[in-house]
Amino acid sequence: MGRTLIVGCSFVENIALKHPQPHQRINTDRFLLLGTSGAGNQSIAARIIDQCSQEKFDRVVAIWSGINRLDFPIGRALHEVQPVDKMGYPAYPYWTRTGETVWYHSGGFCLSGTSDQCPKFMRDFFYNQYLGSSARYLTDLTVLAVLSAQNFLTAQNIPYDMSFIYDIDKRYIDDKIEPGCGKIDRSSPWVRMIDWQKFTKMTPPYEYALAQGRLEDGFHPVFDCMIQWIQQAFDIDLKS
């Protein structure tokens, strides 16, 4: 059997990092899971292209993040001079590297990129981007990311499937997840260019876990629930 790449934000990262019992371990010979907390959709698309340029995959699954999340690319050299914590790790943990590019993410609860933890020059960028943003602007950034991934995977003849982590047609006005999620603006003509047939018809993982009372922190599905959702949505048994 071939290898499958699964890319996303913390919903994917949590699976890769949390293996509570030996019988729950992911079969890493068959599956590569790459996710970063707070990641936006531009960096997810870049990660798909970057990883597929390094390794052959028989299938790719993209679990897209929040419409409202922003990514900003900087060079690796600039990233490496940013503040570190007492253990020597980057003080701001929400970033993804693809080649010589490091993507800083605005996502996380209440948009972590606007916190003091984030380098000031990046904080200012995120602040000003959101100050002048609209639902159409944020939607179009996500659509460009999805289209770039779809076009790349089609050109490379790599089978793929997709989903969002939540219902992108719903607003969560009274929920702490709203700042990092957001509703898609379907008035954008770009939205129609996406091949929506490649998206699972399964309920997104956030709503799936919410309905079962299986959210571990009010947002992320517990380990077994996310494993179960992936199996039902994509017919993938990560432990096989």
Task: List pLDDT tens digits, range 25-72.
Answer: 788 899 999 999 999 999 999 999 999 999 999 999 999 999 999 999
Task: List pLDDT tens digits, range 129-185.
Answer: 998 889 999 999 999 999 999 999 999 999 999 999 999 999 876 666 667 789 999
190 dihedral zone (left: phi>0; alpha: psi -120 to 50; beta):
alpha
Specify whether the CB–CB gap between 110 and 119 falls below 8 A: no
Which pLDDT does position 102 carry in this prediction? 97
Which pLDDT does position 24 carry in this prediction? 66
Specify whether the CB–CB gap between 166 and 66 falls below 8 A: yes
Enumerate the domain spans of the chain. Answer: 4-234
CATH number, domain 4-234, options 1.25.40, 3.30.70, 1.20.1540, 3.40.50: 3.40.50
- Across the range 173-202, mean pLDDT stands at 89
Task: Give me 49's structure tokens.
Answer: 């292209």
Which pLDDT does position 107 carry in this prediction? 85
Neighbour count for residue 235 (Cβ, 10 Å): 9
Alpha-carbon dihedral angle through residues 203, 208, 212, 216, given to the nearest 10 degrees: 180
Q: What's the mean pLDDT when you consider all of the chain?
A: 92
